[in-house]
Amino acid sequence: MTEAQLKDLLQAYKAGQVDLDTVMGHLKTLKEEDLGFAKVDHHRALRNGFPEVIFGQGKTKEHVAAIASRLAAAGSTVLVTRTTREVYQEVAARLPAAEFNELARTIVVAAGEIRPTGGRVAVLSAGTADLPVAEEAAVTAAVMGNEVERIYDVGVAGIHRLLGRVDLVRRADVVIVVAGMEGALASVVAGLVDRPVIAVPTSIGYGASFGGLAALLTMLNSCAAGIGVVNIDNGFGAAALATAITRLKKV
């Protein structure tokens, strides 16, 4: 039942064409989405200014380009994650404004305006091999309206590198820590700052890293409080959570 149909029903009821029980009967069988869906949509509308995101992995280049074109035409800024240069070329052929970040494996099409969150997100990475995931987080956080500070290659085996940047880290509202191998960076950072820390284990490593499991367990077991963990290699998810947090500054 659409909103229009619902109005018709109520007007027919008022006009005496249907009785109260009939109206009640119809209302009881209203499917949740009839109203709820609209409510959710409206709710989504409130988020205007945020980009639409396409998870690129497993999609053909034609598929990604088609979706991106449709979203951009509707005035949305578009972010494609886990993508390749080949896909980018397909997208750019249709949307010349598309920009490719090879390290982050992202495409951004700045078609709509991004509402600034007013928040600052620091993205830390332990090693250079963690950079693709860190950049995915950084690009996502930026395109979602955050000011982003990249603080890379500050792994715990050379703790002075991190300590030398503590003030920079402390200036952030939210800190994303990206680390593979033993993943110990998150604990050290959370001990140094009072801000929420989002930990992203990466699959970087070999042998007993078991595809990122070691880093994941390290982060979950941190003796420092204030850490939330996302899935292995999920730079996008970390930035999405960070944005959900920084948006609170304007609530």
Interactions with a second copy, residue window 107-126 (CB under 8 A): 119, 126
> Residue 102 corresponds to which tokens in the numbers above?
């090879």
The rounded distance, in Å, linking the Cα atoms of 60 and 94 is 15
Q: Which of 34, 99, 147, 153 binds a second copy (CB under 8 A)?
A: 34
Pairing of strands 147-151, 197-201: unpaired
Q: Which of 5, 17, 36, 97 binds a second copy (CB under 8 A)?
A: 36
Piece of 43-51, 69-77, 93-101, 104-112 that binds a second copy (CB under 8 A): 43-51
> Residue 123 corresponds to which tokens in the numbers above?
């993205």
Contact between 51 and a second copy (CB under 8 A)? no
Contact between 244 and a second copy (CB under 8 A)? yes
> Closest by alpha carbon to 136, among 45, 203, 217, 70?
203
φ/ψ of residue 176, rounded to 5: -100, 125
For residue 123, what are the β-bridge partners?
150, 176
The rounded distance, in Å, linking the Cα atoms of 177 and 188 is 10
Q: Which of 5, 17, 40, 93 binds a second copy (CB under 8 A)?
A: 40
- Residue 216 to residues 46, 99, 153, 174, 249, Cα–Cα distance (Å): 34, 32, 19, 19, 29
Helices (H), the chain: 3-14, 20-28, 32-45, 61-73, 85-94, 131-143, 159-163, 166-170, 185-192, 213-220, 235-246
Q: Which of 30, 74, 93, 103 binds a second copy (CB under 8 A)?
A: 30
Contact characters 63-92, a second copy, x per CB under 8 A = ------------------------------
Q: Does residue 110 contact residue 77 with C-beta atoms inside 8 Å?
A: yes
Query: What minimum distance in Å lies between the beta carbon of 136 and a second copy?
Result: 12
Query: What minimum distance in Å lies between the beta carbon of 180 and a second copy?
Result: 8
Piece of 70-78, 97-105, 106-114, 231-239 that binds a second copy (CB under 8 A): 231-239
Contact between 198 and a second copy (CB under 8 A)? yes
Q: Which of 37, 62, 89, 113 binds a second copy (CB under 8 A)?
A: 37
Piece of 32-40, 70-78, 91-99, 102-110 that binds a second copy (CB under 8 A): 32-40
Q: Which of 164, 177, 178, 235 binds a second copy (CB under 8 A)?
A: 164
Residue placing its CB nearer to a second copy in the complex, 34 or 99: 34
Per rule CB under 8 A, count of chain residues that contact a second copy: 106
| Sequence-distant (≥ 6) Cβ neighbours of residue 191 within 8 angstroms | 224
φ/ψ of residue 224, rounded to 5: -90, 140
Q: Which of 83, 125, 146, 222 binds a second copy (CB under 8 A)?
A: 222
